[in-house]
Amino acid sequence: MFTRRFTLFKLFGFEVKLDLSWLVLGFLVAWSLAQGMFPSIVPGLARETYWLMGVAGAFGLLFSIIFHELSHALVARRRGLRMHGITLFIFGGVAEMADEPRDAKTEFLMAVGGPIASFVLAFVFYQLYLFVGRDTPTAVSGVLYYFAFVNLLLGAFNLVPGFPLDGGRMLRAALWGWKKDLRWATRVSAAIGGGFGMALILLGVLVFVQGNFVTGMWYFLIGMFLRNAAGMSYQQLLVRDAIKGESVRRFMNPQIVTVDPGITVARLVSDFVYQSHHKAYPVVQYDRLMGIVSTDQIKTVPPPEWDRRTVHEIMLPSTSDNTIGPDTDVLNAWNRMSRTGKSRLMVVENKKLLGMLALSDLMKFLALKFDLERASG
């Protein structure tokens, strides 16, 4: 749904990406500040001034979220974890980790870094607000006051002890360090996260019924998001436990139907798609992998041209996004699939295609494994 992202800039080597859905949050914040908060704390200014202050508030929020996520990322890097970058989307920001924390202490330090950064920023903005003068409210002091407030809110909200919020990560780290059982620690903190999400949903409904539609909707959506995220993070942990340490080779399918780059699209459809019923075909010439062609690419060519166009013209070249080595940990493949949304990877060694790794095969394996584990208690 919300997948269009672009890179804003690079900071300390981290890519800061903005998902277009963040603009919805930015607009809502600017709008509600210009309509409600600023006219009530700094009365008597022109309408345009309130809008300017609202836009400044939205940019301040953007800055505050980046600052918060960046401190997670910096702590993570200091503790030796690889990070992909920071993505800002409709519910705020996430620091995307390539690795999971290996020990409780690392997880705790990483989690606590965000709220501390937010509280520091809140303090700094509050001092600036005092310096500019709270006795004579102006547009600038109003905006500074909001910056202090929003950072305090960011810090406090994230301290709620429900996974995957920072407070929940801290709780998980504490439980993990105490009983040395990551699964149990995740289950407990994710359950609290899910409960907090449910409470927000109910609060949202209550506020909505009382006539505060935007705030109610907002609580409701954040509650839904948290509930989902809490449930998913526990499942992901189970998946990680189940497939960690296994190689891609074990799960790949070596029986693959490949096509020659020289054949026409018409032949691809009649001799391959309608014969073997696969969705995607690796393109191979003289034993060397060239790329992959799927029904998605066929659909971009109008049928009258199928006779004239070749597979070579429409295929996607093989890149590090759609290929993986046979001895890679299958968990890496899983992470890449969930990050890129690609459900198939070509398994390649020395430019030779060995097989295909499909998300559906991994899912089948997991279903069987969980089923047997449940049976054995």
The footprint of Zn ion (CB under 5 A) covers 114, 158, 166
Position with the least CB separation from Zn ion = 114
Are 283 and 291 in contact by the 8 Å Cβ rule? The answer is yes
Task: Say which residue the tokens 């609060």 belong to.
Answer: 203
> Cβ of residue 71: shortest distance to Zn ion, in angstroms?
8
Cβ proximity to Zn ion: between 54 and 113 the closer is 113
Cβ proximity to Zn ion: between 170 and 265 the closer is 170
Are 336 and 359 in contact by the 8 Å Cβ rule? The answer is no
Q: Confirm whether 69 is a catalytic residue.
A: yes
Q: Which residues pair with residue 308 across a beta bridge?
A: none
Cβ proximity to Zn ion: between 69 and 289 the closer is 69
Residue tagged active-site, from 69, 305, 349, 373: 69
Cβ proximity to Zn ion: between 55 and 112 the closer is 112
Dihedral of alpha carbons 75, 78, 79, 84, sign: positive
Neighbours of 91 (CB within 10 A): 16
Single-letter code of the amino acid located at 36: G
Q: Which of 36, 40, 33 lies closest to 60, judged by CA? A: 33
Q: How many whole angstroms separate alpha carbon 211 and alpha carbon 16?
A: 37
Reported for 302-309, long-range contacts at CB under 8 A and 24+ positions apart, including other chains, are: 305/265, 306/264, 306/265, 306/266, 306/269, 307/264, 307/265, 307/266, 308/264, 309/264, 309/265
| DSSP code at position 161 | S
Q: Which of 137, 141, 113 lies closest to 125, judged by CA? A: 141
> Cβ of residue 158: shortest distance to Zn ion, in angstroms?
5
Q: How far apart are the first and last CA of the chain?
A: 38
Cβ proximity to Zn ion: between 158 and 189 the closer is 158
- What does R_g of the chain's alpha carbons equal in angstroms? 25
> Cβ of residue 328: shortest distance to Zn ion, in angstroms?
30
> Cβ of residue 20: shortest distance to Zn ion, in angstroms?
22
Cβ proximity to Zn ion: between 118 and 297 the closer is 118
Catalytic sites, residue numbers: 69
